[in-house]
Amino acid sequence: DGGITQSPKYLFRKEGQNVTLSCEQNLNHDAMYWYRQDPGQGLRLIYYSQIVNDFQKGDIAEGYSVSREKKESFPLTVTSAQKNPTAFYLCASSMGRENSPLHFGNGTRLTVT
């Protein structure tokens, strides 16, 4: 079955540590996205990539970094520079056309203490 997999589901880190969230898709989608979801707010775009070896900042890229070395993979690193890293992180992919719906992974809940 095709899909998009995020791991781990829950992640705990100490303040000051970098942490990398995994996202893998086997849908053969060109475009991949990272969103952050906080209570009472809409999804906010962190980074997106429309093609391998290229990515763009979203609305809240500060304190985050990504790579897109393979079409299937789009890992997100939450660095110690991110002021409020505790959140629910969602990875998504799409065919990249304007009417293409996003397919989401099941999310990673990151808690930083």
Partner 1 sequence: GQNIDQPTEMTATEGAIVQINCTYQTSGFNGLFWYQQHAGEAPTFLSYNVLDGLEEKGRFSSFLSRSKGYSYLLLKELQMKDSASYLCAVMDSNYQLIWGAGTKLIIKP
Task: Give me the residues that bind partner 1 (CB under 8 A), please.
Answer: 40-45, 90, 98-99, 101-107, 109
| Rounded Cα gap, residues 2 and 81, in angstroms | 35
Nearer to partner 1, 36 or 71 (CB): 36
| Rounded Cα gap, residues 55 and 101, in angstroms | 19
Q: In sequence order, what are the residues at sequence separation of 6 or more whose Cβ sits closer than 8 angstroms to the Cβ of residue 34? A: 23, 45, 46, 47, 48, 58, 64, 66, 74, 76, 89, 90, 91, 92
| CB 8, min distance to partner 1, A | 14
| CB 80, min distance to partner 1, A | 26
| CB 13, min distance to partner 1, A | 19
Nearer to partner 1, 16 or 101 (CB): 101
| CB 20, min distance to partner 1, A | 20
Nearer to partner 1, 59 or 69 (CB): 59
Nearer to partner 1, 13 or 103 (CB): 103
DSSP per-residue letters across 86-111: -EEEEEEEE-SSTTPPPEE---EEEE
